[in-house]
Amino acid sequence: MSSENVEFLRRGYEALERGDLETFEALARERLDPKFEFHHVWDGRVFEGFEGTMDWLSDTRETWNDYKQEIEEIIDLGENVVVVLGISAQGVGSGVPVAQQLAAVWTFDGDRAVRARSFTSRADALEAAGP
């Protein structure tokens, strides 16, 4: 199941990269557990379920101009998968540019994503993901 989860994440992040929201939404509906939680490092908020995930996406688009992300690495750890991203954007209100690495630890129960936690570094995400 692990390789299928990696492919799900790759397809979802790539859909976001190219602005294909239809594909992203379809993948999220199919593979996110109804009790899915996304813990976001930037503001400490927790987004729940499919609707919460779509709220996060909407918030991101309202907060950042020219938001871009690129997959740098996907690390398959079985139940957990770490996705490392390069992020660049410009604040809507401030115009301040941001470029940084973000990483997320995705936890799966079978083929359903049950949790994602974001971190400001690959090292922090790997530590959180465990051995």
Mean pLDDT value of segment 26-46: 94
Tens digits of per-residue pLDDT, 2-25? 899 999 999 999 999 998 999 999
pLDDT at 42: 83
Phi first, then psi, for residue 120 (nearest 5°) are -90, 5
Given a contact cutoff of 8 angstroms between Cβ atoms, the answer to whether 113 and 122 are in contact is no
Segment 52-86, tens digit of pLDDT: 999 998 888 888 888 899 999 999 999 999 999 99
- With 0-12 CB in 10 A as exposed, 13-18 as middle and 19+ as buried, what is 49? middle
The pLDDT assigned to 37 comes to 97
pLDDT for residue 86: 96
pLDDT, mean over the chain: 94
The predicted pLDDT at position 1 comes to 57
Domain 2-129 has CATH 3.30.1330.10: no
Domain ranges of the chain: 2-129
